[in-house]
Amino acid sequence: MTDNAPLAGKRVLLGVSGSIAAYKSADLCSRLSKLGAEVHVVMTSSAMHFVGEATMRALTRRSVMTDLFDEPHSDRIAHIDLAQSSDIVVVAPATANLIAKMAVGIADDILTTCLLAVPKSTPLLVAPAMNSLMLEHPATQHNLATLRDRGVEILATGYGVLACQDVGYGKMAEPDEIVTAINLMFSNRGDFCGKRVLVTAGPTREPLDPVRYIGNRSSGKMGYALAQAAVRRGASVILVSGPTALASPPGVELVRVQTAEQMLAECMKAAPDCNVIIGAAAVADYRPAKVADSKMKRQSGVSITIELVPNEDIIAALTSHRSPGQFIVGFAAETDNVEQNAARKLTSKGLDLVVSNDVSRPDAGFDVDTNAVTLHWPGGNSEDLPLQSKLATADHILTRIAAAMSHV
C-alpha cells in the first residue's frame, strides 16, 4: 500500500444491521483496515445475533459502538462525533427495516442516530440485504428511491440463492464490490473541478393535442445519476431534463423541458461554455406534424392517421457546433444489434464515446435502478461494465471520460 492509496488514513464509519449478511461485514472490515482505513464500527442489537462485537473489535483494534448510551469519551457525544468526523459512512448490510428508518428519519438506536447526524457533504453508501420479496415491496422501493433522491449511493444487490432458500435478488454486494465503490468515491473526488458538464436526461413529450402526447418509457435515472456523480466530483453541472418524477440532484442547475425542440434550444444555449456534454436523454425522433388546439374526440369506428415529422438530432447538432476541446458522449438504448448500432452512432455523429445498453433486459432497461452498459471508443475499442447501480455506472463513465480527456 502506498501513501497515496485512496483509503490511506481515511476514517470510515461502518454500520452493521441485523442480517445474515453481517458475516460479510467482518470481511469488509478486514479489507478496509488492510488498505489503511481507520474503521469505526457501529452495530445494532440485531446485528450482534449474527456477528460478535469481539470480532469487529479485533479486526479494527477499536471499540465497537452498540448502545446509544455508550460514551467512551467524556468530552464528546459519541454518535455526533462518529457521524461528523467520518470521511465516508457505509451501511453493510442494510436491512429493509433500517432502510425504512433512514428514509423517514427514525433514530431509535446508536446506528440510526449516527446516520441522522451525518453531514450532507459526507458520502453515504448503503448495501441492502434482504429477501427478494421484501426488496421488491413497494414500500422498500419507495424508501430506496427516497434515499437516492437525497444523494445516498445504493449498491445493487446480487442474484442467487438467499438465506431463506428463495432464489432472486437481495444478496448483499460482495466485500470487494463495496471496497471498489468506496475507492471510486475517494479517488475520483475533485477530478472534475473547474469543468462544466451538460447532461440531458429523461424522455421528451411530443403533443398531439392539449391532453395527449407521444413519449417513451425513459425515467431519467441514468442522466440524473450522471449529473449527481459529476457534482460529487467537483463539476459545475447543468441538467436539461424532460418530464420525470425525480428530484433534482443537490448542487445541479436543473432546466426542465417537455419537447425535443425545447431540449435542443436549451442545449444549444448551454453547450458553448461546457467542457463535457453527455446526451443520456431518450429524445423522440419524431413529432406530430400538426397539434390540435383542443382535445381530439373519439369517433366510434373511425380510424385516425397521425403524420409524424422528424425532430432535429440533438447530439448531432451539438457535435456539429462543438467548441474546441469539448468531449461529447452519446447514449444508445437498443433492443437488438446493440454493438453494431452503437458503433454506427459513434461514427456517424462524430462522438468521442458512445454508451450502449440493451433496454430489453429487465435489469438494465427503463425505470430500473441498475444498468449494464458497454463503452464504445473511436478506433473500435469497447469495454463492458458490469451490472451495477446507475450511480456506480455513472462514476465509471466519468472516470473513463476524465482519463480520455487527460490524454488529449
Q: What is the Cα–Cα distance from 196 to 234, expressed in whole angstroms?
A: 9
| Active site amino acids | 164
Phi and psi dihedrals of 282, rounded to 5?
Answer: -95, 85
What is the residue type of 59? L
Answer for the pair 329, 355: CB distance below 8 angstroms, yes or no: yes
Under DSSP, the state recorded for 6 is T
Helix axes 96-104, 138-149, angle to 10 degrees: 50
Grid coordinates in use for 59?
479486526
Question: 62: burial class by Cβ within 10 Å (0-12, 13-18, 19+)?
Answer: middle
Strand intervals (E) in 3-157:
11-16, 38-43, 88-94, 124-128, 153-154
User: Sign (positive/negative) of CA torsion 305, 309, 315, 316?
Assistant: positive
What is the residue type of 259? T
- Residues ≥6 apart with Cβ < 8 Å to 114: 13, 15, 42, 65, 79, 82, 83, 89
Grid coordinates in use for 338?
446493440
